Amino acid sequence: MDYLQILREIAKDCSLFVFDFDGTLINSEPYHFLSHKKVMESIFPDTKFTKEDFDREVLGRTDKEIYGNVNKRKKIDVDKAISEKLSLSLKYLTSDKVKLFDYFYQVVKAFPDKEYIILSNQEENTLKEVLKKKGVLDIFKKVISVPSLIDVTKFEVLANLQEFAGIKVEGAVIFEDSNSTLDYAKELGYKRVAILSETNRGKNFDVDLIIDTDKDNK
């Protein structure tokens, strides 16, 4: 049984498909690393910013948190640092060489009757510009950028999905690469699809379906 058949079964009573962005729709981590590396090394010119630094200081945090923490170590213009990082990330991610994962197009083709939204910790302009460049922005009924919300977490949005999505939700399927988000979605009663890529392969997921982006799912 291929993954679309399994998805048809688990999504039969769901009206909404909710997609994360980074690591779920696109392999953005290498480009975020390069962006943060350039900004961090401009702030700390005598220090090399490594992948280990990225994993420890960046993953799972918003840009505001990341550069707010940097500001505690060395006084910086936080807004300027964030702006520089976002500009670099947008340049990389809108490149024609960077593609969305193929499974997404297959899902959209197989489920034209579902509503689609984005729920991401990524900055709103980056989300919309990348999705527009890839030709899929119009697929999404709503793009929810957590940093654009005031004092609201991704978990709180999930717990009040109908309110934030602005549409009636009769069951939802959450597509994510993060274990913590998938685990919380389980508590809320949502169906869960883990997206595997080079950044999270090898982790254990308690989900309804796993889609490996490195495998031929056609």
pLDDT value at residue 217: 42
Q: Which one-letter amino acid corresponds to residue 3?
A: Y
Q: What is the CA radius of gyration of the chain?
A: 18
Can you give the residue ranges of every domain in the chain? Answer: 3-26+99-212, 29-93
pLDDT value at residue 59: 84
Indicate left, alpha or beta for 60 from its phi (over 0: left) and psi (-120 to 50: alpha): left
Q: What fold does the segment set 3-26+99-212 form as a domain? A: Rossmann fold (3.40.50)
> What is the pTM for the complete model shown?
0.89
Angle between helix axes 3-10 and 102-110 (nearest 10 degrees) is 50
Residues 6+ apart with CB under 8 A from 184: 155, 158
Mean pLDDT of the chain: 93
Q: What is the pLDDT of residues 4-17, one digit of tens each?
A: 999 999 999 999 99
Q: What is the pLDDT of residues 92-147, one digit of tens each?
A: 999 999 999 999 999 999 999 999 999 999 999 999 999 999 999 999 999 999 98
Dig out the tokens for 207 from the structure. Answer: 């989900």
